[in-house]
Amino acid sequence: MAKRIDVTDLSVYYGDFKAVEGVTMTVEPRSVTAFIGPSGCGKSTFLRTLNRMHEVIPGGRVEGKVMLDDQDLYAASMDPVRVRRTIGMVFQRPNPFPTMSIYDNVAAGLRLNGVRSKSTLDGIVEESLKGANLWTEVKERLGKPGAGLSGGQQQRLCIARAIAVQPQVLLMDEPCSALDPISTLAIEDLINELKTEYTIVIVTHNMQQAARVSDRTAFFNLRATGEPGRLVEIDNTTKIFNNPSQKQTEDYISGRFG
Ligand SMILES: Nc1ncnc2c1ncn2[C@@H]1O[C@H](COP(=O)(O)OP(=O)(O)OP(=O)(O)O)[C@@H](O)[C@H]1O
């Protein structure tokens, strides 16, 4: 199921403002790729182009190419809603649908896709909650509101919701930044398990986290204030953290800026 993403010379705009310039990279399937870099260098903006969420913002547009295996995600014939179903997203703040039960939160996307059978829904809800390491904590209270869970549980509920529709890629935008250290570890363990099935991309400000969870790391930076962000380098995480090719990366990793 997991797929490879190939990005070629991608630039990203908000109206006339070019936020990201000329990114070319490959995201390998069944692995975790971390995006790191100083604030404002365009990590989240670039992440959102990978499932066509960026264009939802007024004035948001891209130039360049994004391929998911052999599918051109920005081809005129490509339905952006289908792209977002194939490439799921988990956000910084856990955002379960507040009025919905735990069960309905996980089932929502399936129902939107037309799944009506109760036994099918029951099966996938259970499987998704197990996949998100949440089942044992919530199985006795599936009818209770998702908003009543702790922050860490809510984030795992959002991951269950995302995997319920069987995406091929999971994009995570600082998924632990609103969580305590224990919940963060639970999410990191989960990411480690999920990568056997999914292609995962995670934006993180936390370099220890990038070092712990990712196989590959991409370092983004601004050439100068007011200039667009760009990819400085992408490589195996151990290489980026121990022996990066670029001095800028080394300066950032060693805390000399950012
Ligand atoms: N909705 C928007 N409209 C206009 N400009 C935006 C919008 N969102 C982000 N930007 C700009 O795009 C650039 C990249 O922002 P982005 O949030 O992608 O960076 P980031 O690296 O993810 O930052 P952080 O680490 O602080 O989250 C910044 O200059 C930002 O001000």
CATH H-level, domain 5-95+168-253: superfamily: P-loop containing nucleotide triphosphate hydrolases (3.40.50.300)
96 lines ligand 1 (CB under 6 A): no
Average pLDDT over residues 177-185: 89
Query: How many angstroms separate the first and last alpha carbons of the chain?
Result: 36
pLDDT at residue 179, as a whole number: 86
Average pLDDT over residues 186-200: 93
C-alpha 206 – ligand 1 centre gap (Å): 18
14 lines ligand 1 (CB under 6 A): yes
10 Å CB burial of residue 51 (0-12, 13-18, 19+) is buried
Domain boundaries, the chain: 5-95+168-253
Residue type, position 219, single letter: F
Task: Choose the residue to mutate in 41, 55, 91, 204 for probing ligand 1, maximizing ligand atoms within 8 Å of C-beta.
Answer: 41
The tens digit of pLDDT for each residue in 109-118 reads 999 989 999 9
C-alpha 57 – ligand 1 centre gap (Å): 12
Supply the Cα-derived Rg of the chain in whole angstroms: 18
218 lines ligand 1 (CB under 6 A): no
C-alpha 221 – ligand 1 centre gap (Å): 12
C-alpha 44 – ligand 1 centre gap (Å): 7
Q: What is the ipTM of this complex?
A: 0.97
Residue 255, pLDDT > 90, answer no
The tens digit of pLDDT for each residue in 156-177 reads 999 999 999 999 999 999 999 8
Q: Distance of CA 217 to CAs 28, 32, 40, Å? A: 11, 8, 18
Q: Residue whose CA is closest, atom 11 of ligand 1?
A: 19
C-alpha 40 – ligand 1 centre gap (Å): 5
The confidence band for 120, taking pLDDT boundaries of 50, 70 and 90, is very high
The confidence band for 119, taking pLDDT boundaries of 50, 70 and 90, is very high
The confidence band for 258, taking pLDDT boundaries of 50, 70 and 90, is low
C-alpha 223 – ligand 1 centre gap (Å): 15
Q: Residue whose CA is closest, atom 16 of ligand 1?
A: 42
| Residue 125 dihedral angles phi and psi, to the nearest 5° | -60, -45
Task: Choose the residue to mutate in 10, 43, 177 for probing ligand 1, maximizing ligand atoms within 8 Å of C-beta.
Answer: 43
